[in-house]
Structure 1
Amino acid sequence: MVFLADIDSRSRQIFKSLVDTYLQTGQPVGSRTLSREPDLGLSPATIRNVMSDLTSAGLLEAPHASAGRLPTEKGLRLFVDGLMEIGAPSPEDRRALEAEAGGEGEARSLLDRAAVQLSGLTKTASLVLTGTNDQPLRQVSFVPLEADRALMVLVNKAGDVENRLMHLPAGLPANALVQAANFLNASMSGRTLAEARSEVAKAIEEARGELDDLTRELVQRGVADLSTGMGGGPQLIVKGQANLLTDAAEDLDRVQQLFEELERQQGIVDLLTAAKEGDGVRIFIGSENPLFSLSGSAVVTAPYRDADRNIVGVVGVVGPTRLNYARVIPLVDYTAEIVSRLAQSSQG
């Protein structure tokens, strides 16, 4: 493994200039191009010799027979960890992110909008893992659709709304939906789903004389459907996949592979769940992350917290390893701050 201390100052300067140029252009960088950099003031021959040493050290590679070089994954890691200069998001970027997440609406809708804005600003696909949604329920209602189907509408304390299509028992009385909703609200309101399921089971036993068989069956079906509803596990938001097609004409195979990897939602959930263990921004470059290793992609993540400072979810982006890391990292970090505020306000 190569450390920054292993490279002399001239080699660091050349290496940093090469990676900066590559991240801007996406093209192999040659010694003649770097020799025109006023800050370097070195001849092409001198730069070639240094590039050769950096290639031998595993930090650069030559994709073709041309004299140009690209940073390897190891080189990008060294650059990101030790040579990159990271600032704060611009006032314009801050305003854009805050405008999307700071308006009125349900918590899920605000998260969606923050994810869309982040993907737009970074030209990547954005990822938000909301964690297990175990907010106490506020209200349950049923909306009849057809004779044998109804929509179960769930609203939790955070204001999230979730609709569940459910089949109704045959011959259900007209007032059964209202009766079932009243029963569930009395048993579940103010409780998390984990608490509510066991409570409803007890309540059904105690109310055998109050509920007819069909209404009781409807209540039981509703509780069964809740096992995969709110609180059923981490929820994943993916936005901005179309951004990955930008400037992809020469690398469509990689983008297609990345699209296929984004379809594996459980893998993304596992990745972001693992990212929750870190504190602050985490960066996975290429094969450092097995999920996106085939497409050679980079993932940048940051956790967000609730009012008690517990990590409850993760914000991130995925894109090519040729990310503008200096811009993307502070944007992901700032979005995590905004989402933390959303999570904290939803607890109030």
Structure 2
Amino acid sequence: MGHSDVKGAKLVAEAAVGLRQLNERSREIFKRIVETYLETGEPVGSRNLSRALPMTLSPASVRNVMSDLESLGLIYAPHTSAGRLPTQTGLRLFIDGLLEIGDITEAERSQIESRMAVGGRNRAIEDFFAEAGEMLSGLSRCAGVVLVDKQSKRLRQVEFVNLGGGKALAVLVGEDGDVENRIVTIPPGLPPTALNEATNYINARIGGLTLAEARIRIEAEIEAHRAQLDELTARVVTEGLATWSGDGGDRQSLIVCGRAHLLEDVRVMEDLERVRLLFEDLDAKKDLIHLLGLAERADGVRIFIGSENKLFSLSGSALIVSPFADTEQKIVGVLGVIGPTRLNYARIIPMVDYTARLLGRLAP
């Protein structure tokens, strides 16, 4: 954890202590400030707050409470405005402690189920996950993101094709019909029949296995000298499997859908700059893959806000994501949405959670 991360965690911890010590009217005022921000994006002043509160308080009394909230680091005054907005720390504490999370409507539930059921029957697996991202993007009016572990793909067959010059094309076909090609290096002195031998050897062992399972099984067999392959052919087999498996981000497929939704609520140049920075963040796929990888280890929905993570430190954005598992309860990916920090968290959190749980049951 870096110095800025430690400092941020300390601020949140200190503010959380202060929040627990607030009386009922202070909590109510803080809650109204955050809810107004999430609904309108605008700062709210003491006069409007005093009219909206369920208890009778003068604008002067409200200003005193707002001053206390500001000293705790929960709200701040943007520019010279008399109104207040929640700080990033305040927004995080509101989401963790005061947010009343709703549930998705029956209409939304039916829409999600019908689109995913059709996708699971008729589409290649990456198209299926892209459909999930597009659907979440449309329902939330944010950008949808899906990160899928390629090694969860179940295999049908492979083939090696000699390209000459010490290279071969390794073709992998999944059970869903999806095809991937990789260039592999052929060991010097490889017999002409070795590529066919390698193809037949792998295809006799991989049917229905995932890429990760196939690699473990075949490499163990070769290591134990049970494989009826000469040394050079065995190298072709292991290099082909290793090339498909990849390392780091190469093992994962990132899908980003619905970027245009991020432009729908742009009202001032400051908002436009925020969206421009967010688009740059989305293009930096390595950082985004790393961030989503953190969510793979979470239990349920995880929320990243603004500078809580390196990726969104400049873009004023929020990421709501959840891991999803296959039928054997193995985590195979992450999905969610990216948008401004002013999101309808109460609606989007259960939407992401429901879709993630549904994906595990319906994925092809």
Q: Which band: TM-score by shorter chain?
A: 0.7 to 0.9
SS state at 1:292 partner: coil
Q: Give 2:43's aligned residue.
A: 28
Of 272, 275, 280, which residue of structure 1 is paired with 2:300?
280
Q: CA deviation at 1:193?
A: 3.7
Q: Give 1:140's aligned residue.
A: 158
Amino acid at match of 1:75: G
Q: CA deviation at 1:51?
A: 1.3
**CA shift in 2, pair 1:13/1:2, >3 Å:** same
Q: Give 1:162's aligned residue.
A: 179
Q: What TM-score, normalized by structure 2, do the two folds share?
A: 0.77
Structure 1 residue runs of 5 or longer lacking an equivalent are 170-174
**CA shift in 2, pair 1:200/1:252, >3 Å:** farther
Distance 2:134 2:252 in 1: 19
Contact conserved, 1:129 with 1:272, CA < 8 A, in 2?
A: yes
**CA shift in 2, pair 1:178/1:310, >3 Å:** closer
Q: CA deviation at 1:108?
A: 1.9
SS state at 2:318 partner: strand
1:141-290 equivalences under 5 Å are 153-157=171-175, 159=176, 161-164=178-181, 185-186=203-204, 188-189=206-207, 190=209, 192-196=214-218, 224=239, 227-229=242-244, 233-248=251-266, 249-250=268-269, 251-290=271-310
Q: Give 1:115's aligned residue.
A: 133
Distance 1:108 1:136 in 2: 12
Contact conserved, 1:244 with 1:319, CA < 8 A, in 2?
A: yes
Amino acid at match of 2:344: N
**CA shift in 2, pair 1:106/1:79, >3 Å:** same
Contact conserved, 2:41 with 2:342, CA < 8 A, in 1?
A: yes
Higher helix share: 2
Q: Give 1:291's aligned residue.
A: 311
Percent identity over the alignment is 47
**CA shift in 2, pair 1:243/1:221, >3 Å:** farther
Amino acid at match of 2:322: A
Of 113, 117, 121, which residue of structure 2 is paired with 1:98?
113
Amino acid at match of 2:25: R
Q: Give 2:85's aligned residue.
A: 70
Structure 2 residue runs of 5 or longer lacking an equivalent are 1-13, 187-192
1:2 maps to 2:15? yes
Distance 1:315 1:14 in 2: 34
Q: CA deviation at 1:107?
A: 2.3
**CA shift in 2, pair 1:228/1:254, >3 Å:** farther
The aligned length equals 333
Q: Give 1:16's aligned residue.
A: 31
**CA shift in 2, pair 1:321/1:176, >3 Å:** same
Distance 1:162 1:33 in 2: 60
Of 130, 145, 150, which residue of structure 2 is paired with 1:127?
145
